[in-house]
Chain A
């Protein structure tokens, strides 16, 4: 292979592979996934088995929030109006938002928290925010169980449209992963990303049809306002899920945009977010270990 011809050739011929410094995903995609998966499952197991009430506590958060919001928005304000199963639709919205808030919130400081991985071993840094998304996804899966229980309890039925669920989730995951990558890399250089993001996600919570059905926006404000809101992949995902899973009476984004092509807007935003996040992370990757 190398250097067998003698010292002269050895002096110019490189050996093995060149070490060029850190990259976002490392050199081996399998190792990348193995690491992200290991980090996520370890943390998840600890949460889950760490206390006797593990799973119970995990569910309590969205359910308690749901109980309060249900009392206020359905019991008192009745924002749902004539929309069928609005309680379940509300819970679904909360659970989806929880997934969004969990992954982005955990990702922001994740590189700092896992600092010794990035600084002390050859570790693909992108595995860290990705593991945050995975972990939030595990919780999301668990939180979806009570959504379906409530749905059946309220008299909901199985639709063939439920098969849309994976596609909708895929878009959501692409969006959330892009944001998580972007935020975690931004935090390395800009420490005020965290409080800023808190405010932004608060605004998103109210700016997304979670507490109220989108039909309310169409009635009270305008169709255009609803269409603008649906450019947000989070809103589109929740609306499409309500349409596909809870009851077809919830208009799908496609119906609101007036054609199925309208779906491409939130999908496009998701993909764009992912590209921006991934590119920024890739650019920052070589510097993360030095700047932390």
Chain B
């Protein structure tokens, strides 16, 4: 066959659906069956996959993402032939290896050597092939001194490394991998990443189920987002992972986070009551919509509605956002402005708005607004009135993401140095 590495599909999934029959009450005995031969156990059905279709080209690195229970593991099991799909068709070209769990078939009473052979046999290698790969496996796992040690005496880290090494040394045409990338220490992680980069180049096809959007963006050529067993997004891994994050946080946010409901118990009002904070909200002005989830890097507006219950002169409006460990990461106040706010009468309602570039790191932040007057008298304060979630598709790990530019300048090269000395 001609070298058409990217256009020939290795995996074709067309309209696949899978429904599980879950018995309502677990009557699992022959006795029950004998006593009530005609009673059919009541089932309720759970549709884990509904009409999923996609194609993965040969040599492609394909990410499958989705929230818990979205059907992504079921999809992988159908691809692996562990579950039979109810409808649709799956075609795979080439030998398949499945890695849903590391170290399937490992026996703690056997030495690492025997376990490698055993595990490799389970994953589809012959005895001879397994023996041939043994050294490579042990080298990759960095366990040269421990080949004769029984597995029960291994640390969990060593065990995972061994299992991962067996997996990675099996060179099937198609690899189905479920959520097992995050193993080992940082150095081992790097090694795995390098190996993945190599696999990408070696024209093997990889389907990866993961929650790690970093991995999706780093490795995958294409990705697929599942929700309730349906494909809701597919294509560019960056866009898919953004969709995933939105999906993930909007649900949580709908339940707990953010804004606009002053009737909530949370954020009990403190202060002398001359002003009432009626609500707070966040908006994304560029999108022209109220937001429950704030993407990092976007222009963002915070606003709060305040009603005065008596005459107030020059009130100061403030708000602070705390991260979960209680660090204040954003404090905004009208008091920092030289211009006084002016006089307000009882019954006046105002909205105070703060615009900022959202450089907050991805996390959940509590919102505490308050109103005071110059002398330090507190009119109203509502501690942790609401909370808001900031997302970022590739977390940097920093509390805030200070915008930066970078440059690289070549000062000296080795050749130039040599020329000089000659």
Which of B26-34, B223-231, B256-264, B325-333 lies at the binding interface? B26-34
Asked if A19 lies at the interface with its beta carbon under 8 angstroms from chain B, I say yes
Q: A35-B122, A190-B33 are in contact. Are A42 and B9 (CB under 8 A)?
A: no
Asked if A16 lies at the interface with its beta carbon under 8 angstroms from chain B, I say yes
* B9 CB contacts on chain A under 8 angstroms: 2-3, 10, 15
* A42 CB contacts on chain B under 8 angstroms: 107, 110, 114, 118
* B79 CB contacts on chain A under 8 angstroms: 19
In A40-84, the 8 Å CB interface with B consists of 42, 46, 50
Q: Is the CB of A122 within 8 A of B82?
A: yes
Q: A34-B127, A46-B109, A46-B110 are in contact. Are A14 and B12 (CB under 8 A)?
A: yes
* B92 CB contacts on chain A under 8 angstroms: 15-17, 19
Q: Is the CB of B82 within 8 A of A121?
A: yes
Q: Cα distance A63–B349 when bound, in Å?
A: 96
* B90 CB contacts on chain A under 8 angstroms: 18-19
Q: Within the complex, what minimum Cβ distance (angstroms) separates B246 from chain A? A: 31
Chain B 16-59 interface mask (CB, 8 Å, partner A; 1/0): 00001000000011110100000000000000000000010000
Q: A21-B85, A38-B121 are in contact. Are A193 and B30 (CB under 8 A)?
A: yes
Q: A3-B9, A15-B92, A117-B105 are in contact. Are A20 and B84 (CB under 8 A)?
A: yes
Chain A 224-262 interface mask (CB, 8 Å, partner B; 1/0): 000000000000000000000000000000000000000
Q: Is the CB of A14 within 8 A of B89?
A: yes
Chain A 177-203 interface mask (CB, 8 Å, partner B; 1/0): 000000000100111110010000000
Q: Within the complex, what minimum Cβ distance (angstroms) separates B374 from chain A? A: 68
* B89 CB contacts on chain A under 8 angstroms: 14, 18
> Which partner residue on chain A sits nearest B85 by CB separation?
A21
Q: Cα distance A7–B6 when bound, in Å?
A: 12
Q: Is the CB of A189 within 8 A of B28?
A: yes
Which one of A16, A118, A290 contacts B91 once the chains associate, using CB atoms below 8 Å? A16
* A120 CB contacts on chain B under 8 angstroms: 82, 98, 100-101, 104
On chain B, the number of residues with a Cβ less than 8 Å from chain A's Cβ atoms is 48
On chain A, the number of residues with a Cβ less than 8 Å from chain B's Cβ atoms is 40
Q: Is the CB of A31 within 8 A of B124?
A: yes
Q: Within the complex, what minimum Cβ distance (angstroms) separates A243 from chain B? A: 37
Q: Is the CB of B31 within 8 A of A192?
A: yes
Q: Is the CB of B30 within 8 A of A196?
A: yes
Q: Is the CB of A289 within 8 A of B12?
A: no
Asked if B7 lies at the interface with its beta carbon under 8 angstroms from chain A, I say yes
Asked if A116 lies at the interface with its beta carbon under 8 angstroms from chain B, I say yes
Q: Is the CB of A19 within 8 A of B78?
A: yes
The 10 nearest A-B residue pairs measured at CB: A21-B84, A16-B93, A192-B29, A19-B90, A15-B93, A120-B101, A14-B91, A190-B30, A286-B84, A122-B81
13 examples of A-B residue contacts, CB within 8 angstroms: A1-B1, A16-B10, A17-B92, A17-B93, A19-B91, A38-B121, A42-B107, A46-B107, A116-B104, A117-B122, A121-B80, A121-B82, A190-B28
Q: Which residues of A contact B (CB under 8 A)?
A: 1-4, 7, 10, 14-22, 31, 34-35, 38, 42, 46, 50, 116-123, 186, 189-193, 196, 286, 289-290
Q: A22-B81, A119-B82 provided; 5 other pairs, C-beta below 8 A?
A: A14-B12, A18-B89, A19-B92, A21-B81, A122-B80
